[in-house]
Structure 1
Amino acid sequence: MDPTQITDLLGDTGGQVLSFLEGLLRRWNLYQIGISLIAFAIALAVGRNLRGRMRNWMRGLEGRPKWQLRWLLAIEKRLILIVWALLLWGTYLVMHEMTWPSRSYLIAILARIVTAWVAVELVVQLVKNRALRRLLRWGLWAYVTLYFFGAVEETAAFLDTMAITFGSFRLSALAVLKALVVTGLLFTFARLISSQTSTQIRRNEDISPSMRELIIKGVQLFLYGAAFFIGLKAVGFDLTGLAVLSGAIGVGLGFGLQKVVSNLVSGVIILLDKSIKPGDVISLGDTFGWINALGARYASITTRDGKEYLIPNEDLITGQVVNWSHTNDFVRLDLYFGTSYGDDPHQVRKIAVEAAQSVDRVLTHKPPVCHIVGFGDSSVDYILRFWITDPTGGLTNVRGNVYLALWDAFKANGISIPFPQREVRVLEGSTLATRQAQQALD
């Protein structure tokens, strides 16, 4: 569209706006505006009161699902609009019966707009992403406002004039807006379908945990990719040029994002070879914990102290990883201790095994064993070995419980645990001996 057409369109739009404003200055229209403002003031006072009461009521709710709390919070935040809509509809119904319909049509339009705003607020709660939800909320509010004022076509025509042309390709603000709306809706539906599909796949016990994660990632990649390209195609974008451009960009990004690509490929390899899976207990360097989730770029590992480490997938492929539960859940732990030479080693071994078996987490069908490993300077040294099947419950605590059981058992049976003893002797003729002798004479 050339500048002359743009000027004509702006002139026509400005004339319609001026005509609308002149219509508002009529006496009954001013009355309706005043009545609407009074209704808003009342709604503001009543809505704030109701919001306080509803907030106090919501604080006492326990055990409710998150989606219910989100909806209640959305209603609580929009109570002023809800009360205003009710007051406008009530005023409109009364005025419609008592006077001419033309004397209440502005109130009717405003009531429809406010009601649509409330409906939009409730609908957008289906979108969990905060940024996308805010964008969708403002977009729908603008659309319904223009719709009830009958200005959708004029606004669309104005946005269509704001365009950039590249050869035969024309990109307008209207096309971009349509692309954003359609793609946003498709992404929302893709997220809902992906969430439901992921829940069903994770419940399927016939599929291994790593294959579940791989299938979920594949489904998400397919759904979001399809939503993106379908959204662009739906508004008339030529995907041929986009394919050529994306190929050129991909070559450039391939050099700059080597680590990211490496982590992505490593994540796929981990899921395929099943070396680690969610729920496994692993050690990587100084990090010991269990895997919460396997992401496209990193693995989430939670330690016993509540810290969550995000380990890049490449480190899990190239580094030395100890998987405590790779093929089975059995974990053997070793404890070292010593007793004095005066204690019978046969009795010590028997008591140590019985003490370990008395601890809850120690397995009895794989009984503990105790062996002599050496004769020390002041003690006979032993090793006590036992098995557990729940490394996620911690290793230090079960070791501590076994040590405590050994202490109680040795004390009950008179077995002593040697410890270093030091004897200090004061030699005759030393400065300290002379000083002590003088103090004794004084």
Structure 2
Amino acid sequence: MAATQSTAQSDVADTVEKLTDVDPAEAMRLVEDAGDFLLDSVFTVATALQLGALAATFAIASVAAKPLRRRLIGLVTRNVRGYRLKRFGAAVANLLMPILWLALLSALMAALSALAHDTTLLRVITTLVSAWIVIRLFSGLVPDTFWARAVAIAAWSLAALSIVGWLGPAIDLLDGIGFSIGEARLTLLLAIKGVVIGGVLLWAAFALSSLLQRRLEHAPHLTPSLRVLITQITRFTLLLFATLIALNTIGIDFTALAVFSGALGVGLGFGLQKVVSNFVSGIILLLDRSIEPGDVLEISGTYGRVTTLGARYTSVVTRDGTEYLIPNEQFITEQVVNWAYSDTRVRRRVPIGISYSSDMELARRLVVEACAETSRVIDNPKPVCHLVGFGDNAVDLEARFWIADPENGVINVTSDMLRAVWRKFHENGIEFPFPQRDVHLKQGGPVEIVMRKGQAPG
């Protein structure tokens, strides 16, 4: 026990001796070199003058930029035509302060150089401001605000590190931070490269697929379903290649992924069952062309027009502007009424009742005339009116007419037709029936009538 304690104390003493084994003379030399650098390069009159010049020019540029920015934005709004030119003018207006600051710094640096003053700090700051202005102008071409800001910050950080000479040490530092997975080594530098390259490739994949989609929209020889199918397959292929290239950039061996293929298949079978089912259903819908963008359909009580066929869902917009995102699987497993699948013509059946005392043949003729006068009712097939039964209170008629534009609604055209029927019936003395009941009283006995307070007789 005593020997073990003695050994532990000896190890601790050796460790402390190694940590404190520093040459005092070497330490003093490093401290003196640092002090000499600060006195010779930082705490000098020239550096103080340059710092004061930087602060003064920054304040002047900030004050002068505010009224100039408002005036420039007004000129761009009134005189510039075109979205891209207006956007470029707005970007220049937002960068007016650094542009003025750069102009003041350039003029001041030229004056100090003519007087043989040190301008090292001014030169570095001028280069950084110039890089920032150029990067912000080019990043303004990116439509998304988040990605534009991310690109600007990343590019300016690299430029700043390169200007001050710290880019090489920063790369070495990031490359030294990492861990090993088998024979491969994953470093922070590789991870950053993979994220950047993957982001750029994914953005390019979406941009190319969107460009292809806009081009295909103007291709008259392609059906809407075929356009969507080509767009979806192209987008999926581009995204797959972008992901594979990004993974390959950070040094991931794809042969190692084969080990996890079985587990991945089980995960897809259970966890992503609905996602895969909707994706496959979308491909089936695009291939058999049973549903296309622009079709008017009804499913599960939802009536509307198909606006988008996606990889996972289909967008259906109703007449009141509500947009439903319906999973593609429902179009395969449920009953769907497609009002424009093989023929856009749709027949409407509208029940109408008249009183028994009215002229039935005249009423039928008036209903047909009302249908013919309705603007959206087509002439072929012709509208008709049939006698379909004798009800308790009315003679039951049924108007049947056809329309060729169900996407414009069916309730509104029915309403127009019924308004015309109402007008014609009143003009020609055709009565609409009211509910009637015949009450028969049994003979042979008195009828007792009871009156209660507050109630009228009858």
Q: TM-score, normalised by structure 1?
A: 0.84
Trace 1:78-89 onto structure 2 (pairs within 5 A). 78-89=95-106
1:395-427 deviation digits (Å, cap 9, x = unpaired): 221111111111122222232222237999xx9
Count of residue pairs brought into register by the alignment: 419
Distance 1:436 1:396, change over 3 A: closer
Which of 109, 123, 141 does residue 124 from structure 2 map onto?
109
Which of 388, 393, 397 does residue 382 from structure 1 map onto?
397
Distance 1:387 1:201, change over 3 A: same
Letter matched to residue 421 of structure 2: L
1:395 — aligned with what? 410
Q: Alpha-carbon deviation of 1:245?
A: 4.3
1:99 aligns with 2:115: yes
Contiguous gaps of at least 5 residues in structure 2: 1-29, 440-446
Q: Alpha-carbon deviation of 1:160?
A: 0.7
1:86-126 deviation digits (Å, cap 9, x = unpaired): 33334334444x333x6334323222222222322232334
1:32 — aligned with what? 50
**Secondary structure of the equivalent of 1:306?**
coil
**Secondary structure of the equivalent of 2:389?**
strand
| Conserved 8 A contact 1:127-1:188 | no
**Secondary structure of the equivalent of 1:28?**
helix
Distance, in Å, in 1 between the alignment partners of 2:153 and 2:380 is 65
1:2-46 deviation digits (Å, cap 9, x = unpaired): xxxxxxxxxx9xx99995896343322222222222222223233
| Conserved 8 A contact 2:393-2:436 | no
2:421 — aligned with what? 406
Distance, in Å, in 1 between the alignment partners of 2:36 and 2:360 is 105
Which of 339, 342, 345 does residue 330 from structure 1 map onto?
345
Distance, in Å, in 2 between the alignment partners of 1:107 and 1:302 is 60
1:185 — aligned with what? 200
Distance 1:171 1:21, change over 3 A: farther
2:218 — aligned with what? 203
**Secondary structure of the equivalent of 1:334?**
strand
Contiguous gaps of at least 5 residues in structure 1: 1-11, 438-442
Distance, in Å, in 2 between the alignment partners of 1:435 and 1:265 is 70
Q: Work out the percentage of aligned pairs sharing the same amino acid.
A: 37
Distance, in Å, in 2 between the alignment partners of 1:61 and 1:36 is 35
**Secondary structure of the equivalent of 2:217?**
helix
Distance, in Å, in 2 between the alignment partners of 1:17 and 1:174 is 34
1:259 aligns with 2:274: yes
2:26 — aligned with what? none
1:299 — aligned with what? 314
Q: TM-score, normalised by structure 2?
A: 0.81
What is the root-mean-square deviation in Å for CA atoms of aligned residues? 3.3
Q: Alpha-carbon deviation of 1:362?
A: 1.6
1:248-299 deviation digits (Å, cap 9, x = unpaired): 4343243211111111111111111111111111111121111111111111
Distance, in Å, in 1 between the alignment partners of 2:403 and 2:289 is 23
Distance 1:429 1:288, change over 3 A: closer
Trace 1:75-154 onto structure 2 (pairs within 5 A). 75-96=92-113, 98-100=114-116, 103-154=118-169
Letter matched to residue 346 of structure 2: V
Distance, in Å, in 1 between the alignment partners of 2:328 and 2:64 is 55
1:314-349 deviation digits (Å, cap 9, x = unpaired): 111111111111112112212111122233222222
